[in-house]
Amino acid sequence: MRPYTEIGVFGARHAVEASRWMQGAKPGGVSTREVLADGGDGPLPVRVYHPEPGTELPLTVWLHGGGWVTGSVALADRPCRAIAAASRTVVASVEYRRAPETPFPGPLDDAVAATRWLATHAHTLGADGSRVAVGGDSAGATLATAAARRLRGARWLRRQVLVYPPLTPPDPDAHPSWKEFGAGHLLTREDMTWFWHHYLGGDPHAATPPPDAAPLTAPGHAGVAPVSIAVAGCDPLRDEGVAYAVRLGETRVPVSLREWPDMIHGFLGMGGELAATAELVAWIADELSREET
């Protein structure tokens, strides 16, 4: 695949959407409906997945990956179906606004507003608004944990599930996995810097990003919902996820960390090619049912 810096925003979006062939067959047995949530600046489309219509189940708000620039609810459809079926939760996949048309904090504002709206209206979706989790993969995971920071203290928010999140602009000195895997392993340092540039609206290394944009730089995490983090062993983002787990633990936030040693970034969307994708979905389901004591 050509670098995103060469093919541009619309080329990158097309290339990412074209990758759905790797996801495999669409899981069955899940009911879907489309709703509009109140967003940060207008209504946001949400696709709701219910594995057992007529039964009130916990709610999982899911934020798709794609570097804040690419990706969509449509691309996340098969993973969300699989998560809903495996976890026995109602999964609500949010079509948040993307950069560069809407840079930070727009996508995060959408994530926070949609999560609040979905929790408030959960009963209309066949979900329990007192048992809500927020999660996502890649850039969506960053939005999920930043939204949880903004929503700290909300008793209905029970967990964060973060799948290989980018938590700060690439820093090979602080996170050596960028030196190991920053080229030739699907996600490159060049492309990730390009994503951050569009998300922040400028050079991501010119100044320290706002903590809500780059949660690893945030000064404190006390009071946020318990966190579950999945990292891929051959992903340049691996060390950021590990560092975040350590940081959360230091502030007594309940945190669990799981690594898939031989996997690369994006393997949640490779269910048609990799057995590890089903293992990841099962882990997500287990974490969504985890109760802290």
pLDDT in tens, 111-150: 999 999 999 999 999 999 999 999 999 999 999 999 999 9
Query: Nearest Cα to 247, choosing from 284, 222, 213?
Result: 222
How confident is the model over 207-245, as pLDDT tens digits?
A: 999 999 999 999 989 999 999 999 999 999 999 999 999
Whether the predicted pLDDT of 161 surpasses 60: yes
Average pLDDT, the chain: 97
Give the mean pLDDT of 9-29.
95
- Asked about 265 being catalytic, the answer comes back as yes
Residues 6+ apart with CB under 8 A from 54: 126
Catalytic residue of the set 87, 138, 177, 228: 138
- Cα–Cα distance between 146 and 292 in angstroms, integer? 21
What is the predicted pLDDT for the residue at 87? 98
State whether CATH 3.40.50.1820 applies to domain 4-288: yes
How confident is the model over 24-55, as pLDDT tens digits?
A: 999 999 999 999 999 879 999 999 999 999 99
Query: Nearest Cα to 284, choosing from 212, 230, 248?
Result: 230
Catalytic residue of the set 109, 137, 235, 239: 235
- Asked about 138 being catalytic, the answer comes back as yes
Predicted confidence band of residue 261 (pLDDT cuts 50, 70, 90): very high
- Which long-range contacts (C-beta less than 8 Å, at least 24 apart) are formed by 249-257? 251/220, 251/221, 251/222, 252/222, 253/221, 253/222, 253/224, 253/226, 253/227, 254/226, 254/227, 254/292, 255/226, 255/227, 255/228, 255/229, 256/227, 256/228, 256/229, 256/287, 256/290, 257/229, 257/230, 257/231
How confident is the model over 88-111, as pLDDT tens digits?
A: 999 999 999 999 999 999 999 999
- In 127-167, where do the E strands start and end? 127-137, 157-163
What is the predicted pLDDT for the residue at 23? 95
- What residues does each domain of the chain span? 4-288
pTM of the model: 0.97
How confident is the model over 169-197, as pLDDT tens digits?
A: 999 999 999 999 999 999 999 999 999 99
- Asked about 175 being catalytic, the answer comes back as no
Whether the predicted pLDDT of 293 surpasses 80: no
What is the predicted pLDDT for the residue at 2? 86
